[in-house]
Amino acid sequence: MTHPMTDPTQMVTALVQLRRSLQDASLPLELPSAVAERASRGEMVDQLEDYVIPRLMTLDAPLLAVVGGSTGAGKSTLVNSLAGRRVTEHGVLRPTTRSPVLVHHPDDAGWFGQDRLLHELERVDRATTDPAALQLVAVASVPAGLAILDAPDIDSVEEQNRTLAAQLLAAADLWLFVTSAARYADQVPWDFLRQAAERSASVAVVLDRTPPDAVDTVSTHLARMLASRGLKDSPLFTVTEGTVTDEGLLPAASVAEIKGWLDSLAADADAREMVVRQTLEGAVRTLARRTHRVADAADEQAAAWHRLREGVDAAYDEAIERVDGASADGTLLRGEVLARWQEFVGTGELLRTLEHRMGRLRDRVVSAVRGRPQQAEQVTVAVESGLETLLLEHAETAAERAEASWQGLAPGQALLAEAGEDLGRASRDFRRRAESAVRDWQQDVLGMVRSEGADKRGTARFLAYGVNGLGVAVMIVVFAHTGGVLVGAEAGVAGGTAIVAQKLLEAVFGDQAVRTLAQRARRDLEGRSRLLLDVERRRYTDLLDSLEIDPAVADRLREAARRVDDLRFAAAGTGDADPAN
Ligand SMILES: Nc1nc2c(ncn2[C@@H]2O[C@H](COP(=O)(O)OP(=O)(O)OP(=O)(O)O)[C@@H](O)[C@H]2O)c(=O)[nH]1
Ligand SMILES: [Mg+2]
């Protein structure tokens, strides 16, 4: 098998896949794991794009040494001194460097174009303070094969500096850590060094601005700190405190040792490759490992997303069920609807006798009911307001319940806070939409009556009740049908009411036609209620959908990481690399 470092095609493909999966895992829900893993994911995507992928594709590019450390440690001064002339601004203002400066040999210019590493930084050819720019400086005094990058401070008071410095260090083949005798024990640089050790990045440490009489003590102590933190193989250079020239350079002798080391590294292709390989393999291994934590966080996102979705669905499914139930079990046949219907049919006397004379019912109903078309309109109005009230009530309850279910979960609270409207109430236009839905339903019922009675419209009975009268009778029958069974007379007044309506319709249309009519009208009403409440539900689900949480992304992440690891181990199996790496 070919080594991924000599034939990196498969590894590049696997890493591109890994990057894509990482980009898909946006972790938008506010869960404890998301905060840390979002940052991690961002760093990983950056490192893949800034360094790992372009590096693998151009393994013979010059080695990039990134100079990092605290502000005022003397990084820019060191870079100038190594270049032998002022290539980057040093200064007394803290922090000074805000925009990275990459110093390279003129022959290497082609390697550092826009399309390669750190591609988001715009290449410029003069000094700038723009943190989104990368100034390129070609200097013959820097050896071919090794470029030096002056970075902003890693523990800056400026967040932008810190972020950029971390990004630049993640793109380094070699980290040149500059610290001073005064500050070498500071915490932040050591956090960076610990991370460097963890991912086995190649590191060299420069102890800068050291008073000559302190060199021995400080460098011994620093060497011990390095060894105890897994960096015992990192070369340590000391630069004694010297006088800086007007040009910003240290005396050549002060930097001779480190310059000599860098020059010999540049001249030795094998040594250079070892440095690059160590950093690159360490980065790939670490990326694969960190991916599993992002995948776990992605799983948590998917699980939380489901809980949020379930809370909403439970609330609105129940509302739909209850509206369907209440518009079929006789609930609506009370108050206004009942009163207006009785006015219409005038069945007071009739109802009292219903229980005893079922057999002769139809005839009695038909002869008892005097069509009063003008009163049918009143029933329609009462039905409309009854249904509206029912819908509004359940839309409010569902909104409240859905909101409560989200308030019980931290990511739900965050979503509610960002929603921009009070989701705990029905939408402001719900009443208006309910009104027109109910009216449309009533129109449809009248339409059904009209077409069902097409051949009966001339009959005395049809004429007696009119389309409106028959229409309200259908509505009454619908309101008293539970599971297709008419609520019986034993259910009291409401049931009796419905039986009158049913008999009346049967007298005009025949039994079978009435059943069909009622069923269609009922399904139509259910469809419209569902639609109304689904629009309400969507206020919640749209929020969830806009998060674009892909439940399969966690597995894709793990799969991508496994593929990367397989290629690493396959390479290790050839003896070219250490499997423990
Ligand atoms: N006397 C003396 N001054 C130094 C030495 N190294 C750096 N300085 C001065 O220290 C100040 C800071 O040096 P810089 O090179 O700008 O430090 P830096 O690490 O690049 O700082 P930032 O860009 O802010 O991160 C400047 O005024 C330098 O002239 C040194 O060895 N001796
Ligand atoms: Mg600087």
Per-residue DSSP letters for 118-165?
STTSEEESS----TTEEEEEE-TTSPTTEEEEE---TT-SSHHHHHHH
pLDDT at 108: 95
Distance 87 CA to ligand 1 centre (A): 14
Distance 69 CA to ligand 2 centre (A): 9
Distance 208 CA to ligand 2 centre (A): 13
Is pLDDT at 347 greater than 80 in this prediction?
no
pLDDT-based confidence at residue 574 (cuts at 50, 70, 90): low
Higher pLDDT, residue 464 or 88: 88
Distance 224 CA to ligand 1 centre (A): 25
- Which residues have CB under 6 Å of ligand 1? 71-77, 90-92, 94-97, 152-153, 209, 241-242, 244, 250
pLDDT-based confidence at residue 150 (cuts at 50, 70, 90): very high
Alpha carbon distance 31, 497 (integer Å) = 56
R_g over Cα of the chain: 40
Is pLDDT at 242 greater than 70 in this prediction?
yes
**Element holding 360 (H helix, E strand):** none
pLDDT at 360: 56
Is pLDDT at 413 greater than 90 in this prediction?
yes
Query: 282: Cβ–Cβ under 8 A, 6 or more apart, which residues?
Result: 199, 200, 201, 581
* Residue to mutate (ligand 1; options 70, 71, 76, 258; most atoms within 8 A of CB): 76
pLDDT-based confidence at residue 187 (cuts at 50, 70, 90): confident
Kindly state the average pLDDT of the residues 228-256.
Answer: 90
Query: Residue 253 class from Cβ within 10 Å (0-12 exposed, 13-18 middle, 19+ buried)?
Result: exposed
Residue 208, beta-bridge partner list = 180
pLDDT at 321: 97
Looking at the chain, the whole-number percentage of residues with pLDDT higher than 70 is: 90
pLDDT-based confidence at residue 279 (cuts at 50, 70, 90): very high
Q: Kindly give the residue spans of alpha helices, DSSP state H, lying in 48-114.
A: 53-57, 75-83
Q: Which residues of 142-153 are buried (b: 16+ CB within 10 A; e: fewer)?
A: bbebbbbbbbbb
pTM, two decimal places: 0.81
Alpha carbon distance 258, 102 (integer Å) = 18
Alpha carbon distance 210, 221 (integer Å) = 13
Which stretch of 309-323, 334-348, 360-374 has the lowest confidence by average pLDDT? 360-374
Distance 96 CA to ligand 2 centre (A): 5
Helix, coil or strand: residue 292: helix
Kindly state the average pLDDT of the residues 356-362.
Answer: 52
Is pLDDT at 331 greater than 90 in this prediction?
no
* Closest ligand 1 atom number to CA of residue 69: 19
Closest by CA position to 284, among listed 112, 552, 55: 55
pLDDT at 201: 92
Alpha carbon distance 399, 429 (integer Å) = 14
pLDDT at 144: 96
Tell me which residue has tokens 């939408």. Answer: 427
Is pLDDT at 200 greater than 50 in this prediction?
yes
Alpha carbon distance 202, 193 (integer Å) = 10
pLDDT-based confidence at residue 356 (cuts at 50, 70, 90): very low
pLDDT at 502: 86
Ligand with smallest separation from the Cα of 177:
1
Ligand with smallest separation from the Cα of 154:
1
Q: Both tokens of residue 440?
A: 């449309």
Query: Residue 533 class from Cβ within 10 Å (0-12 exposed, 13-18 middle, 19+ buried)?
Result: buried
How far does the chain reach from its first CA to its final CA, in angstroms? 18
pLDDT at 349: 52
